[in-house]
C-alpha cells in the first residue's frame, strides 16, 4: 500500500522568505512519481512540480523546487521568495503502477499563510 | 479546450435523495477519476476508469456508482445520499500510457451538502 504523510497542518512564512513544506512517502514500488499541487481558496487544484523516482536531480519549476531524498523517502517542497499569492493549501501526491493501472495517493495537505 | 468540467458547482440534497455529478473532459484522456475532499483528510479516491467501459473502485467507493460509456464523460451517482457524503468532489483526468510524470487535470469541484 502507498502512503503520503504531511505532518504540518499549517505554516506561516514572511513575504519574500523561503519556506519548506514537508512530505514523506511510503511505497514498495521502485518506480513512482511524486507531485505537489496547490489549492488556493478558490478551490481549484493546480499542478506545481513533479519528481520521478529515478530522477537524479531535484526538480525545479520557477520558485518551486523539490528536495528529493530517496533514502529518507522524503519529497519536500521548497518555495523561494514567498509571495502573498502563495497562501493556499499544498498537497503532496504519489503515483505508482498498481496491477497494470496507475494509482495516485494524496497527503492531507499543509495550509500555508504568507504574512506581509 | 475546456479541460475538465464539472456540474453542478453546488448542490443541496436531503438524506435519501439520489443525484448524478457530471464530469466531462475534452482532452481525449483515457484515465478519469473521482475524489472527495474532506477537511483534514486530503483527497481520497472514490472510483476511477482507464477507458470506456472499464471502471474500478478506489479507496472509498461505498455509496457511489460510476459508469463510463464514452471517453469524454464519467458521471458519479449517489443512489441514496447520506450526511456523511457531504464533501467537495473533484473529477480528474490524465493520459494513461505516457508514464508516471503525466499529471492529472482537475475539474473545478462540486460542493455537496446533504441534510
Residue A95 burial by CB count (10 A; 0-12/13-18/19+): exposed, middle or buried? Answer: buried
Q: Which residues of B touch A93 (CB under 8 A)?
A: 43
Give the chain B residue nearest A97 (alpha carbons): B100
Torsion angle in degrees (nearest 10) through CA of B42, B10, A113, B103: 50
A and B: number of Cβ contacts within 8 A: 52
For A19-42, the pLDDT digits (tens) are: 999 999 999 988 899 999 999 999
Q: Compute the mean pLDDT over every residue in chain B, rounded to the nearest whole number.
A: 93
pLDDT in tens, B37-90: 998 888 999 999 989 999 999 889 999 999 999 999 999 999 999 999 999 999
Neighboring chain A residues of B92 at a CB cutoff of 8 Å: 45
Cβ <8 Å between B101 and A107: no
pLDDT class of A56 with cuts at 50, 70, 90: confident
> Is it the case that residue B97 has pLDDT exceeding 70?
no
Cα–Cα distances in Å, from B89 out to A1, A19, A80, B84, B86?
A: 23, 29, 31, 13, 9
Between these two residues, A58 and B40, which has the higher pLDDT value?
A58
Burial class (CB in 10 A: 0-12, 13-18, 19+), B30: middle
From B38's Cα to the closest Cα of chain A, the distance in A is 9
- Does residue B85 contact residue B19 with C-beta atoms inside 8 Å? no
Distance CA A114, CA B85 (A): 32
CA distances from A70 to A53, A57, B51, B86 (A): 8, 11, 33, 37
- For chain B, the straight-line distance linking the first and the last C-alpha, in angstroms and rounded, comes to 36
* pLDDT at site A33: 92
pLDDT of residue A93: 95
Amino acid at each position: 500500500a502507498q502512503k503520503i504523510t504531511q505532518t504540518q497542518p499549517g505554516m506561516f512564512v514572511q513575504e519574500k522568505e523561503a519556506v519548506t513544506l514537508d512530505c514523506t512517502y511510503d511505497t514498495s514500488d521502485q518506480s513512482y512519481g511524486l507531485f505537489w499541487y496547490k489549492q488556493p481558496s478558490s478551490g481549484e487544484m493546480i499542478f506545481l512540480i513533479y519528481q520521478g523516482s529515478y530522477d537524479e536531480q531535484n526538480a525545479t519549476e520557477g520558485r518551486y523546487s523539490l528536495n528529493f531524498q530517496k533514502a529518507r523517502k522524503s519529497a519536500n517542497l521548497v518555495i523561494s521568495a514567498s509571495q502573498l499569492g502563495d497562501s493556499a493549501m499544498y498537497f503532496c501526491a504519489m503515483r505508482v503502477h498498481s496491477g497494470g493501472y496507475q494509482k495516485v495517493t494524496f497527503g492531507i495537505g499543509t495550509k500555508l499563510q504568507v504574512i506581509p | 479546450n475546456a479541460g475538465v468540467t464539472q456540474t453542478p458547482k453546488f448542490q443541496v440534497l436531503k438524506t435519501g435523495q439520489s443525484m448524478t455529478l457530471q464530469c466531462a473532459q475534452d482532452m481525449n484522456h483515457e484515465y478519469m477519476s473521482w475524489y472527495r475532499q474532506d477537511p483534514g483528510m486530503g483527497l481520497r479516491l472514490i472510483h476511477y476508469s482507464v477507458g470506456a467501459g472499464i471502471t474500478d473502485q478506489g479507496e472509498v467507493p461505498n455509496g457511489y456508482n460510476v459508469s463510463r460509456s464514452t471517453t469524454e464523460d464519467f458521471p458519479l451517482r449517489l443512489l441514496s445520499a447520506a450526511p456523511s457524503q457531504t464533501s467537495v468532489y473533484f473529477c480528474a483526468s490524465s493520459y494513461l500510457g505516457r508514464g508516471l510524470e503525466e499529471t492529472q487535470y482537475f475539474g473545478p469541484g462540486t460542493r455537496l451538502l446533504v441534510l
